[in-house]
Amino acid sequence: MFARSELFADLPFLPPAFSLRAETAADESARESLLDAAMGPNRRRKSSEAIRRDRLPAEGLSLVAESDEGELLGTVRLWNVSAGSREGAEVPALLLGPLAVSTRCEGLGIGSALMRRAIAESRWRGHGAIVLVGDAPFYERFGFAADRAADLAMPGPFERHRLLGLELRDGALSGARGAIVPTGRLVETLAAA
């Protein structure tokens, strides 16, 4: 029988075992470092950041992937938004992002696991739809499509083909048009309570 180290000697490193859990306040520093490394210095200039700024993530929808050693390997958050309007009424939805994985762990399924958990958790909590700005080839495997967000717009510049939607309930984005705007709780609201 081979020792584990002999079997995997040709790998640059052993893929970490990881688990998914709810984000905690103690994760903030590691999460911010991971996001800076994965997304670069301009990450705060994106249109989706304007929606997230000064808001709290949706209740129960901030998730992290953590190694068995306690290292933060990935993160995803979802935010309460209005995905435009339909017949004069706001269309409640979630904005997903950012999703990021440690650069040394890309391609190991951590991002996919976070996505599946985020979608399942959103559906379980009764949300009807998720929108995001991202690479269609990655997000299409989870059911996201550009046509579901075709009549929606982000604040500021964005690439139309990267605005994607997923209906967690049939028809949740049907007829929705207009700007995606934040509806979630303000950070100050929590401090004042």
**Tens of each residue's pLDDT in the chain, 193 residues:** 444 455 555 555 555 689 999 999 999 999 999 998 888 777 777 778 889 999 999 999 999 999 999 999 999 999 999 999 999 999 999 999 999 999 888 888 999 999 999 999 999 999 999 999 999 999 999 999 999 999 999 988 889 999 999 999 999 999 999 999 999 999 975 555 5
* Residue 9 within a domain: no
pLDDT of residue 22: 97
- Does residue 43 lie within any of the structural domains? yes
Whether residue 62 contacts residue 22, with contact meaning beta carbons closer than 8 Å, is answered with: yes
pLDDT of residue 47: 77
Is 62 inside any structural domain? yes
Is position 89 within any domain? Answer: yes
Domain membership of residue 48 as a residue range:
23-192
- Count structural domains, the chain: 1
Burial (0-12, 13-18, 19+ Cβ within 10 Å), 43: middle
Q: How many CB atoms lie within 10 A of CB 154?
A: 22
* CATH assignment at residue 64: 3.40.630.30
